């Protein structure tokens, strides 16, 4: 097994093979892989999944794109009643010194994209359709779509590394994004990433321009804006829904982030309709 980012392989020597392509709703609520056979790309159409591996964890939500490398070990728990995913099992390999070598991008599962584009979902459907079809034209389209997905995977993990989120803090970012209305300790986030608390803070500021706590508040305020614009909940109810300690603290945090009080923000948005 070799890592694509750690070796130089001529592109013409890299081959792909689709092993399985399907859309499905998982029947088992819990699953454990000691050693995954074959790599996989998973697109969550509906549902919420929780992956754990070592002392790290990932929360995978609707429209997330997940990479599961061959050889990885992890536990999976389904957290939602309704689930539906698109999954591609594939081989990526090269013949080096007359030996077939499996190629992987990382050791552990990684979220490649949050809120994936409709184009990503269509690539999955093209691959699934081609996998089931006997038509050569559909097979070619499926191969092309898989190549596009793998190109996006490589680009996300390596080529845009300087401009994208550091892989070291992705478990912490994922945890915050899916648990923003809960109390989150810096020590827990640091343990997810297997780094010190000071290193975690430094990487957050370096990659996101915000501390972990400020990043969490930014997500909460973004959610608050959505709730206030709907006009369904009062300011007090939005504060409770996002688990702020008090309406005063919510209003203070909101105004600091948006430059306007939540009440005025809600009224302004409602006046536009």
Would you tell me how many other CB atoms lie within 10 Å of the CB of residue 87?
20
The reported pLDDT for the residue numbered 116 is: 67
Mean of pLDDT values over 211-225? 90
* Token couple for 251: 């209003």
CA 187 to chain centre: 22
- Measured over the CA atoms of residue 171, residue 177, residue 182 and residue 187, the dihedral's sign is positive
> Higher-confidence residue: 258 or 7?
258
- Domains, the chain: 2-159 (2.60.120.280), 167-271 (1.10.10.60)
Name residues whose C-beta falls within 8 Å of residue 116's C-beta, 6 or more positions apart in sequence.
43, 63, 64, 65
pLDDT at 11 exceeding the cut of 70:
no
> How confident is the prediction for the chain on average, in pLDDT?
87
* CA torsion angle 138 90 57 151 (round to 10): -70
End-to-end CA distance of the chain: 58
Would you tell me how many other CB atoms lie within 10 Å of the CB of residue 224?
26
- H/E segment holding residue 33: strand 30-33
pLDDT at 35 exceeding the cut of 60:
yes
* Token couple for 200: 């975690």
Nearest to 244, CA basis, from 230, 255, 232: 255
Residue 24, SS3 per DSSP:
strand
**Cβ neighbourhood burial of 41 (10 Å; 0-12, 13-18, 19+):** buried
The CA distances from residue 262 to 256, 258, 266, in Å, are 11, 9, 6
Under the banding of pLDDT at 50, 70 and 90, the label for residue 242 is very high
Q: pLDDT tens digits, residue range 154-204?
A: 877 765 454 445 668 888 988 998 899 899 999 999 999 888 898 898 888
The reported pLDDT for the residue numbered 33 is: 86
CA 229/CA 223 separation, integer angstroms? 10
């Amino acid at each position: 097994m070799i890592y694509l980012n750690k070796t130089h392989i001529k592109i013409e020597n890299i081959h792909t093979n689709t092993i399985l392509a399907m859309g499905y709703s998982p029947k088992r609520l819990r699953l454990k892989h000691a050693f995954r056979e074959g790599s996989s790309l998973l697109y969550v159409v509906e549902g919420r999944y929780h992956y754990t591996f070592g002392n790290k964890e990932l929360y995978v939500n609707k429209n997330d794109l997940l990479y599961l490398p061959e050889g990885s070990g992890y536990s999976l728990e389904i957290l939602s009643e309704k689930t539906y995913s698109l999954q591609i099992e594939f081989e990526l390999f090269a013949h080096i010194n007359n030996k077939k070598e499996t190629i992987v991008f990382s050791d552990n599962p990684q979220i490649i994209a949050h809120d994936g584009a409709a184009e990503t979902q269509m690539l999955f459907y093209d691959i699934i359709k081609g996998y089931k079809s006997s038509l050569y034209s559909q097979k070619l389209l499926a191969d092309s779509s898989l190549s596009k997905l793998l190109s996006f995977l490589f680009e996300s993990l390596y080529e845009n590394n300087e401009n994208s989120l550091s892989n070291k803090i992705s478990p912490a970012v994922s945890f915050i994004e899916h648990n923003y209305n809960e109390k989150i300790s810096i020590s827990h986030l640091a343990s997810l990433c297997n780094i010190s608390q000071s290193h975690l803070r430094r990487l957050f500021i370096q990659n996101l321009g915000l501390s972990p706590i400020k990043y969490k508040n930014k997500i909460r305020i973004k959610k608050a804006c959505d709730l206030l614009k709907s006009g369904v909940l009062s300011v007090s109810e939005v504060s409770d829904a996002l688990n702020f300690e008090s309406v005063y603290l919510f209003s203070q945090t909101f105004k600091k982030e948006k430059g306007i009080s939540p009440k005025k923000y809600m009224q302004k948005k409602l006046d536009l309709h």
